[in-house]
Amino acid sequence: MTTQPPPLYRNRDYMLLWSGQVISSLGSAISGVVFPLLILALTNSPAAAGIAGALGSLPYLFLSLPAGALIDRWDRKRVMIICDSGRALAMASIAVALFFNALTIWQIYIVALIEGTLFVFFNIADTAAMPRVVPKAQLPEATGQNHAAQATTGILGPSIGTVLYQTFGRAFPFLLDAISYAVSVVALFFIKTNFQTERTVAPRHLLLEIREGIEWLWNQPLVRFMAFLTGGLNFVNAASGLFVILLAKQMGASDSEIGIIFSIGAVGGIFGSLVGGRIQKRFSFGQVIVTTVWLHIIIFPLYLLAPNIYVLGAFAALNYLGAPIYNVVQFSYRLALIPDQLQGRVNSSFRLLAFGFQPFGAAASGFLIEQFGVTPALLFFAAWQLLFGVLVAFNADVRNAQSLERTPV
């Protein structure tokens, strides 16, 4: 007879991990919306904002594969503590430089690169640790709860960040982000669960271990396709924030009103997070993936038709609605399939493809906007998204995927 695991709220270590990430996510949401505003204020260049966004995700291209192999060797919790400590110091350096009126675009670029590098290691370690903290049957629920928390911070963070930016000074949002990373570090120290199983085999050559992760992913047609699909969608996602900011500025929106737009948009994200687990149980993998991808395709070009900031925020909410549902389904499905000893390497291989498109999307958006304007640039990204919508609609592996409960462990 199978014993039902206790509710997630009674899982002490999961709640510590979750609460630390909620506070950290709030800090990131507070500073994240301010970053492009600060760069535009310093340089008046969308291309410079695009470069900063590209540098933040560029480390995935170079570090994802070795990071995954190393995460499977190292103590995952220790890696997460070191990474969030480093990110706290990086964000604090922005606040200090602004306080002394010494901030340059080059420091912003360096901080973006450092933050992105540490995120690679933290994110892979966090993902690999999740099946150790949460039973397989509760992975969709935990994933949905994580996305709900992120969406909630997405509602609060942009409004808080832009108000602080305008009212208390440009340094304050970055100081709060640094503090949020420190809180995450404290929460990690109190977690008792071991984030990996006992390793009985001595580490081998790093390239051989990386190859094992790549081969496992490549031999799983569905997981392989989902990596490319997620990467193609993230090419657009990396650009969408800058489009929203510049369209709002064309409407005459203030910095605080731009924060309101992102907060309205995050309402869609939190709703999607709350229903993601239920949708995963009621509909097939293919139905959910195809529907959420096409929701993005239909909504994204409507940004250009928004007559005011509130409608722009409503379109953003509809656009953000599908992302957590998509992620709950594909993320929990993937984690349930991957053996623990390969979690770091396979997830790093997946993320190389899924996040590797982001720096190109961020850089391309800034360049295209500066050279051709917002409308032609946005239509280019809409056409790119349409291509991936056609691919997913005709992919047999997506349509025929088994439910999570039937997947082998």
Helix (H) or strand (E) segment spanning residue 177? helix 172-189
- Give 197: exposed, middle or buried? Use CB within 10 Å, 0-12, 13-18, 19+: exposed
Rg (CA), the chain: 20
- Predicted local confidence at residue 3, as pLDDT: 66
- Predicted local confidence at residue 408, as pLDDT: 40
Please, what are the averages of pLDDT over each run of 10 residues along the chain (409 residues)?
70 88 87 85 85 82 80 86 95 93 92 91 84 78 75 76 83 92 93 74 70 87 91 90 90 85 81 74 85 92 92 90 84 79 80 83 89 93 95 90 52
pTM: 0.69
What domains, with CATH codes, occur in the chain?
10-191+206-406 (1.20.1250.20)
Dist CA 248 CA 237 (whole Å) = 17
Residue 12 is which amino acid?
Answer: R
- Predicted local confidence at residue 49, as pLDDT: 81
Kindly give, in sequence order, each residue whose CB lies less than 8 Å from that of residue 18, ignoring residues fewer than 6 positions away: 142, 145, 146, 149
Single out the residue of 194, 209, 250 nearest to residue 345, CA to CA.
Answer: 209
Neighbours of 101 (CB within 10 A): 6
